[in-house]
Amino acid sequence: MFKNLHLLLFLLISFGLINNASATEVAAASAPEAQISITQHSAKFNGKTIKYSVHAGDHFLYDEERTPKANIYATAYFAEQPSSKRPILFIFNGGPGSSSVWLHMGVFGPKRVVLPSDAEPVGAPPYNLSHNPLSLLDIADMVFIDPVGTGYSHALGKYQGKDFWGVKEDAVVMADFVRAFTRQHNLFNRPKYLVGESYGTTRAGAMVKELQEGWGTFDLSGIMLISSIVDFQTGDFKVGNDLPFITFLPTYAATAWYHNVIDRTQFSNLETFLETVRTFALGEYATVLLKGSLATEAERESVLVQLHQLTGLSKAFLTRANLRINEFQFMKELKRDEGLAVGRLDSRYLGKEADLNTERFEADPSGYAIDGAYTALVNHYMRTELNVKRNARYQILSGQVFSQWNWLYERNARSQGFLNVTPFIAKAMRQNPDFRVFVGNGYYDLATPFFATEHSMNHNGIDSSRVTMKYYEAGHMMYIHEPSLIAIVKDMREFLQAQ
């Protein structure tokens, strides 16, 4: 008689025919039905034939009143007959506002998007979706998670996306998912790792706090941080904060090295060159920046000359910049005379610019060079191999999520300062003797520079003896560079097998 269940619910409550408890039950019953596809597969990884199932679909999370609050879409890979010692990886990207497509289809999953290794744009389809023999499925099960507002994940019922778009809010709902998924698949006694890329490393640090603190803790074996940003003071170019000018300098120099705009003859290789840059950055350069107007003309001139030699930027530009190089100015300035801008996510990439006088590029060349291939192939893969056929758009990267993000860890915080989740990781290491950290860094990553990550890991009480730091001659997504892909998979496999 009533076609609209919500109208029926309203009328029943209005006439007092049901109480609030039963109203909650009716509301839960009216939530959309979760869709999940389970498929069976077999392939060879690391020389071993693995039979595995893929669970791709929805997972409803509930509030304390058992009202649905969020649907988290995830793609889980389970090997047949796993042992209790086999780790499970909870994997996500960053943004904030990004789906898990990059790590899913770039390095960890059984299929991967194959791109040119030499930083060339992919152009239009068809693109190359290949079997990924390097996938870690031979040693670990994996769950790729799309946060609310990304992929097919969204808020439910009375909740809105912005209820989950914040450092704390996101960490809570993602931790809720990990707990719920663990219950659903009885993974309680399995080693568990959080794996994040970019802002996903910030998310991992915040989730560690949500999962490992308090009673009923959910102890982890560790976290894996790819292209890390865990202390935002190292990368926030605000007036009065000189730290980013120091932490970005080695990546500026690496970029100049790659594009051959500096004299490389006195150094045998990139690593040797970067050691010189590190020493200068922490020593003479940091001293002059900290001295400010107290620095002598001789000290400033010495720094000016060395900055020019290490970055290839003109002395005139460096003088106008007061010896402080902003990342976006660098990307535009390095090859300005050629009408080119270097990429932010991967400074190996170059893009042609229409306006040569602006301080920022039109768009990130390393973003638009690869985005189309990932967008096309994740959709193709889901439909052709995972039997996921939805009319809704799979949200690759949401600007709406990013623009509405609450960067305060606590909403009622009056003055947070710079966001820093590194102390949460340090606390986890103090309280859990088995907690370890893997960090993967790209030398050409201008979004999350490796020297900034080194600063974070050398401060805040981190136990360096349980941190594995690795470096690759590629950018933010180092796995799109074939040699770096091979190297990082080898390093991650060794890290997991050492648990």
- Number of domains comprising the chain: 3
79 occurs within a structural domain:
no
Q: Quote the radius of gyration of the chain (alpha carbons, Å).
A: 24
pLDDT digits (tens, 9 = 90+) for 242-295: 999 999 999 999 999 999 999 999 899 999 999 999 999 999 999 999 999 999
Residue 413: its pLDDT value, please? 60
- 171, 411, 469 from 407: Cα distances, Å: 12, 9, 27
Exposure letters 145-161 (e unless 16+ CB within 10 A, then b) = bbbbbbbbbbbbbebeb
Do residues 356 and 396 share a domain? Answer: no
Q: Is 267 exposed, middle or buried (0-12, 13-18, 19+ CB in 10 A)?
A: middle
Contact 239, 133 (CB under 8 A): no
46 occurs within a structural domain:
no
Q: Could you count the other beta carbons within 10 Å of the beta carbon of residue 357? A: 7
Residue 416: its pLDDT value, please? 72
Q: Which residue has the tokens 């960067």?
A: 407
Task: Give the integer Cα–Cα distance in Å for 325 and 318.
Answer: 7
pLDDT digits (tens, 9 = 90+) for 54-84: 999 999 999 999 999 999 999 999 999 778 8
37 occurs within a structural domain:
no
43 occurs within a structural domain:
no
49 occurs within a structural domain:
no
Do residues 60 and 205 share a domain? Answer: yes
223 occurs within a structural domain:
yes
Do residues 213 and 133 share a domain? Answer: yes
Residue 83: its pLDDT value, please? 82
Do residues 436 and 341 share a domain? Answer: no
What is the crossing angle of helices 249-258 and 450-457, to 10°? 150
Do residues 152 and 174 share a domain? Answer: yes
Residue 383: its pLDDT value, please? 97
48 occurs within a structural domain:
no
Residue 357: its pLDDT value, please? 86
Q: Which residue has the tokens 């000290």?
A: 299
Query: 19 falls in which pLDDT band (50, 70, 90)?
Result: very low
Q: Is pTM beyond 0.75 here? A: yes
Contact 355, 342 (CB under 8 A): no
Q: Is pLDDT above 90 for 14?
A: no
Do residues 187 and 251 share a domain? Answer: no
Q: What is the mean pLDDT of residues 133-156?
A: 98
DSSP state of 480: G
426 occurs within a structural domain:
yes
pLDDT digits (tens, 9 = 90+) for 448-491: 999 999 999 999 899 999 999 999 999 999 999 999 999 999 99
Do residues 400 and 320 share a domain? Answer: no
Do residues 422 and 446 share a domain? Answer: yes
**CATH number of the domain residue 59 falls in:** 3.40.50.1820
Q: Which of 143, 324, 166 is nearest to 239 (CA)?
A: 324
Do residues 179 and 294 share a domain? Answer: no
Q: Mean of the per-residue pLDDT values for the chain?
A: 92
Query: 20 falls in which pLDDT band (50, 70, 90)?
Result: very low
Contact 396, 371 (CB under 8 A): yes
Do residues 326 and 356 share a domain? Answer: yes
Task: Give the integer Cα–Cα distance in Å for 438 and 497.
Answer: 12
Do residues 185 and 250 share a domain? Answer: no
Residue 345: its pLDDT value, please? 97
Q: Is pLDDT above 80 for 220?
A: yes
Domain range for residue 173? 55-74+84-233+386-497
Residue 410: its pLDDT value, please? 74
The β-bridge relationship of strands 128-131 and 111-114 is: antiparallel
Residue 415: its pLDDT value, please? 62
Do residues 89 and 226 share a domain? Answer: yes
- How many H helices and E strands in the chain? 18, 14
| Start-to-end C-alpha separation, the chain | 60
Q: What is the mean pLDDT of residues 362-370?
A: 92
Contact 94, 202 (CB under 8 A): yes
- β partners of residue 342: 350
